[in-house]
Amino acid sequence: MLMRVNRFPVIHPVLESVLDFDNDMSRMLSEFAWPVLTSRVARGPLMNLVEAEKESVLEMELPGVSKEDLKISLEKDILTISGERKAQGIPEDAKWIRSESISGKFQRTIELPHPVDPKAITAELKNGILRVVMPKGEEVRPREIAIR
Amino acid sequence: MTKADVEVKTAHPKEETETGRYRTPAADVYETADAYVLLLDLPGVEKEGISLTLEKGEMRVRAAVDEHAGTQGRRLFSETRPATFARSFTLGEGIDPNSVDAQYDKGVLTVKLYKHEGVKPREISIN
């Protein structure tokens, strides 16, 4: 129900083909430098999302990413986190011996389980972890639609 | 020199893998004229929680992640698990174990391992 773009480890196999299309499209449309691992592993930075009583809290691992290179946007209940981990610069006379970390652009889009008041969202980047706290917004009040 | 002076071990010692509570952080290494620079991704740890030890030509890095006990609720995404980052490095003869700098910034630990004076390139002035 939650996963629109992202895949996660316990996804139902039947949904895979639908999501494949979604993922391939989003990959073609963006400049992901993150590796495509196996079909059930998340693309992009790893994250945890917990829905508590009054808020949802998202934590994403973003080592080496500067605040200036990070963007968070919310459109209705779709949260998008995008940014770039700049490649490590080294002196001109230096040479790489090993390179395992992933740099480049990333983007993750998450459908939130509840409405969020965009003005109430707070985000903090500390020690390579982005923490986004999203208080639950007012439910849209039921309206009666007049029939003409 | 046939081999780099910093060898990155990819596997953990047996006692660590058996408990399943360890994560292997990504490691980058580059060499400059006077040092080897090691970069380790350690997101979510505090500087005080990082342990860096050098013993008998081996450098061990350990870093415990906060368990984020503050947020209880329904887990919608759970891609990381609370675990201790652990990785070891074999240091060659060319490195001076008494000359090591380390700093932690933005979730990345940078360790600078200086070379012994004898192995640094030197320019000899001609009289």
Judged by DSSP in three states, B15 sits in helix
**B125: amino acid identity, one letter:** S
**Chain A from 32 to 61: CB within 8 A of any B CB:** 42, 46-53, 56-59, 61
Average pLDDT, chain A: 76
Whole-structure pTM over 0.80, yes or no?
Answer: no
Domain CATH number, residue B86:
2.60.40.790
What are the tokens at B112?
Answer: 């600078």
Could you tell me if residue B58 is inside a domain?
yes
- Within 8 A of A49 by CB-CB distance, chain B residues are 75-77
Q: Is the pLDDT of residue A77 over 90?
A: no
Contact partners, residue A86, CB within 8 Å, separation at least 6? A64, A66, A69, A103
Could you tell me if residue B43 is inside a domain?
yes
Between B33 and A144, whose confidence is greater?
B33
| Number of domains, chain B | 1
- Domain of residue B49 covers 6-11+20-67+81-117
Residue of chain B whose alpha carbon sits nearest to that of A9: B79
Task: Kindly report the CATH class assigned to A13-88+99-135.
Answer: mainly beta
Give the Cα separation of B68 and B86 in Å (integer). 19
Best-predicted range by mean pLDDT (B52-56, B69-73, B105-109, B121-125) = B105-109
Judged by DSSP in three states, B44 sits in coil
| Pairwise CB contact (< 8 Å): A97 & B29 | yes
Q: What is the DSSP string of B69-87?
A: TT--SEEEEE-----EEEE
What are the tokens at B14?
Answer: 């047996």
What single-letter DSSP state applies at residue B19? H
pLDDT in tens, B16-75: 655 667 888 999 999 999 999 999 999 999 999 999 999 888 999 999 886 655 678 999
Could you tell me if residue B27 is inside a domain?
yes
Q: Where are the domains of chain A?
A: 13-88+99-135
Cα B47 to its chain centre, rounded Å, is 13
- Note the ipTM here: 0.84
Q: Is the pLDDT of residue B127 over 70?
A: yes
pLDDT at A10: 39
| Pairwise CB contact (< 8 Å): B76 & A99 | no
What single-letter DSSP state applies at residue A136? B
- Within 8 A of A95 by CB-CB distance, chain B residues are 30-31
| Pairwise CB contact (< 8 Å): B68 & A52 | no
Could you tell me if residue B33 is inside a domain?
yes
Q: What is the DSSP string of A11-57?
A: --GGGHHHHHHHHHHHHHHS---S----TTS-SSS-EEEEE-SSEEE
Band of pLDDT at residue B6, cut at 50, 70 and 90 = confident
Q: Lowest mean pLDDT of A5-14, A36-45, A98-107, name the range.
A: A5-14
Residue B76 sits at the chain A interface (C-beta within 8 Å)? yes
pLDDT in tens, B85-94: 999 999 988 8
Pairing of strands A129-135, B35-41: unpaired
Q: Is the pLDDT of residue A107 over 90?
A: yes
Kindly report the nearest CA distance between residue A40 and chain B, in angstroms.
11
Give the Cα separation of B77 and A51 in Å (integer). 10
Q: Which of A120, A62, A108 is nearest to A81 (CA)?
A: A108
